[in-house]
């Protein structure tokens, strides 16, 4: 770990950072192909690209985790070579990772002090650390209690601690990797105020995100990568989400969908007073009740870790509830397993696709028939019908544009997006009356996301009752007819997706029950039956 003088952390002022013709190869993969990037002092540069476009690889080279195979990095016109993150930090570059690097059972001040070296001997002068920390907090309006333990802090507060740590160590340029992924809309607003204060103080920021509206809101310049190459870098003046999506994918992409009026039919999935524990036998879902009818999509919105995973597993038969009831097409399946849920007409797109959705060492065909291998037409009289299996699998692969040389390829060798499309193809092939879709586009490119969205809307038209669990509010709002909000395992309320605002959803996602904000939300909070 880097040693930093606690009294006088050395700050290198970065007036201009340039990455010139950066090339990085891995076995069989050209991750970066002569990529160019430039950011000036006081600027927020957004870095966009689909999964696999080379964003992370590029930033890891800037932070000293990888060494480029070609090209050069210039700071203030002079070439620099980073052999480790320590070199990057000493040059004035910090990185805030998506998953925070904090010790939960230490205080804020103790986390900031980790790795610091006293100029007066082996012991840190914590009063000096405290004074400098409070100066940083005041300058950038980073409100945080220095004596609070990390585990006591909200996610947004923990993020501020990471920023304080970087600034304490002299960071002049900050790399922010998907920094809003776990924040409520209100926390995002507060976070953007902080970023703008930092930019106003002549810090440079590189903002990596897939949320196009946030990129447009916060950035001065936007750089786009595609297939490991630079597509563009331009000032954020009249750019739209549609423009950016097309640059990322290389073709026009639909971001808003024209949906027909919701034709709600009979209740297909009924959840009443559900309690579900996690793997450590701690209560994660509390007294949860919700009805979903045929012909509608109900979105479940909430910050990650508020019981969504446990709820989805309980609804699909993978986790036994503690109490309550789950009725699937009128049949009580509260304590039934996945097989019984499938027989009742329910399909499940799992959040953890590699653990719950596939068998890694099976090929594509074997995974496609995974849930129905013992049923007609895949099996007749205890024998597999291989011609039918091949024909149906190939049709699904073609229809869902799963990229694979053949059906005998082990599914573990496919990209995450292609695995997700195969799971979707398998689950929709069953023509379900109920669909539980948990994070269906997580880790999926914009182009593939567009296709998945259209298929989910197609199931809606066919009368399927869909529960869409997502942490992406844009996705929730684009697809849902009603939105249910979950906080710490409890239902905060159900709202009309067409009426409710992002800010209103944010209040509920932060734990404000619907009824307590009724006056602010007018028609959006009319009782929905």
163: Cβ contacts below 8 Å, ≥ 6 apart? 96, 140, 142, 174, 194
| Predicted confidence band of residue 528 (pLDDT cuts 50, 70, 90) | very low
- Tell me the pLDDT tens digit for each residue of 296-354: 999 999 988 899 999 999 999 999 999 999 999 999 999 999 999 999 999 999 988 88
Rounded to an integer, the average pLDDT of 146-161 is 89
User: With 50 as the cut, is the pLDDT of residue 471 above it?
Assistant: yes
**Residue-averaged pLDDT of the chain:** 89
**Structural contact between residues 49 and 74, judged by C-beta atoms closer than 8 angstroms:** no
Residues 6+ apart with CB under 8 A from 334: 321, 324, 325, 326
Q: What is the mean pLDDT of residues 47-62?
A: 89
Q: Given a cut of 90, is residue 75 above it in pLDDT?
A: yes
**Is residue 227 within 8 Å of 53, Cβ to Cβ?**
yes
Quick count: other Cβ atoms within 10 Å of Cβ 229? Answer: 16
Interval 505-521: pLDDT, tens: 989 998 989 888 766 55
pLDDT, tens only, 172-200: 999 998 888 778 888 889 899 999 999 99
What is the pairing mode between strands 331-332 and 323-328? antiparallel
List of domains in the chain: 4-248 (3.40.50.300), 263-345+433-529 (3.40.50.300), 354-431 (no CATH)
- In tens, the pLDDT along 434-447 reads 999 999 987 777 87
Q: Is 4 helix (H, G, I), strand (E, B) or coil?
A: strand
**Average pLDDT in the 483-502 region?**
93
pLDDT of residue 82 exceeding 70, the answer is: yes
pLDDT score of 459 more than 50: yes
Nearest to 53 by CA among 34, 32, 69, 72: 32
The number of beta carbons lying within 10 Å of the beta carbon of residue 424 is 26
Instruction: Say how far apart CA 405 and CA 65 lie, in whole Å.
Output: 33
Return the structure tokens found at 364: 């594509």
Q: Among 264-273, 373-382, 492-501, name the one with the lowest average pLDDT.
A: 373-382
> Residues 305, 288: contact at Cβ < 8 Å?
no
pLDDT at 522 over 80: no
In DSSP notation, 84-103 reads SHHHHHHTTEEEE-SS----
pLDDT band (50, 70, 90) for residue 120 = low
User: How large a percentage of the chain has pLDDT more than 90?
Assistant: 60
Tell me the β-bridge partners of 348.
436
Residues 40-62: what's their mean pLDDT?
Answer: 91
């Amino acid at each position: 770990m880097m040693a930093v003088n606690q009294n006088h952390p050395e700050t290198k002022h970065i007036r201009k950072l340039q990455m010139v013709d950066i090339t990085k190869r891995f076995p069989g993969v050209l991750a970066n192909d002569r990529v160019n990037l430039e950011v000036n002092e006081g600027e927020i540069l957004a870095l966009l690209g689909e999964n696999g476009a080379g964003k992370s690889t590029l930033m890891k080279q800037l932070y000293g985790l990888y060494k480029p195979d070609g090209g050069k990095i210039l700071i203030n016109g002079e070439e620099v070579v980073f052999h480790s993150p320590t070199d990057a930090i000493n040059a004035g570059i910090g990185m805030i990772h998506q998953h925070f690097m904090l010790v939960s059972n230490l205080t804020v001040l103790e986390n900031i002090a980790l790795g610091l070296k006293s100029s007066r001997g082996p012991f840190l002068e914590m009063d000096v650390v405290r004074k400098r920390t409070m100066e940083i907090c005041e300058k950038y309006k980073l409100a945080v209690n220095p004596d609070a333990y990390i585990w006591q802090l909200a996610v947004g507060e923990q993020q501020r601690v990471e920023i304080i740590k970087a600034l304490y160590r002299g960071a002049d340029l900050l790399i922010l990797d998907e920094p809003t992924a776990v924040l409520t809309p209100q926390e995002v607003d507060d976070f953007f105020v902080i970023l703008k204060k930092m930019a106003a103080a002549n810090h440079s920021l590189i903002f990596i995100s897939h949320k196009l509206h946030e990129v447009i809101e916060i950035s001065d310049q936007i750089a786009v990568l595609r297939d490991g190459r630079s597509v563009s870098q331009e000032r954020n003046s009249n750019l739209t989400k549609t423009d950016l999506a097309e640059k990322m994918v290389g073709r026009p992409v639909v971001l808003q969908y024209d949906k027909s009026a919701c034709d709600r039919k009979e209740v297909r999935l009924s959840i009443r007073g559900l309690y579900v524990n996690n793997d450590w036998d701690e209560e994660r879902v509390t007294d949860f009740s919700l009805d979903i009818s045929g012909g509608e999509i109900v979105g479940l919105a909430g910050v990650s870790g508020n019981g969504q995973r446990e709820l989805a597993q309980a609804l699909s038969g993978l986790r036994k509830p503690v109490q309550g009831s789950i009725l699937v097409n009128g049949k009580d399946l509260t304590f039934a397993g996945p097989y019984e849920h499938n027989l009742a007409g329910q399909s499940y797109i799992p959040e953890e696709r590699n653990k719950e959705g596939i068998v890694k060492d099976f090929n594509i065909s074997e995974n496609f028939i995974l849930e129905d291998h013992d049923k007609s037409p895949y099996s007749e009289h205890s024998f597999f019908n291989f011609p039918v299996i091949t024909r149906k699998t190939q049709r699904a692969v073609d229809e869902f544009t799963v990229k694979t040389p053949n059906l005998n390829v082990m599914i573990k060798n496919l990209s995450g997006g292609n695995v997700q499309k195969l799971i979707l193809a398998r689950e929709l092939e069953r023509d379900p009356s109920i669909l539980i879709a948990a994070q269906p586009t997580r880790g999926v490119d914009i182009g593939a996301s567009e296709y998945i969205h259209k298929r989910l809307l197609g199931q809606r038209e066919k009368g399927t009752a869909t529960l869409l669990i997502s942490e992406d509010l844009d996705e929730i709002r684009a697809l849902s007819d009603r939105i249910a909000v979950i906080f710490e395992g409890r239902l905060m309320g159900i709202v009309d997706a067409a009426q409710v605002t992002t800010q209103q959803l944010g209040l509920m996602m932060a734990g404000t029950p619907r009824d307590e904000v009724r006056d602010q939300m007018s028609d959006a909070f009319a009782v929905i039956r």
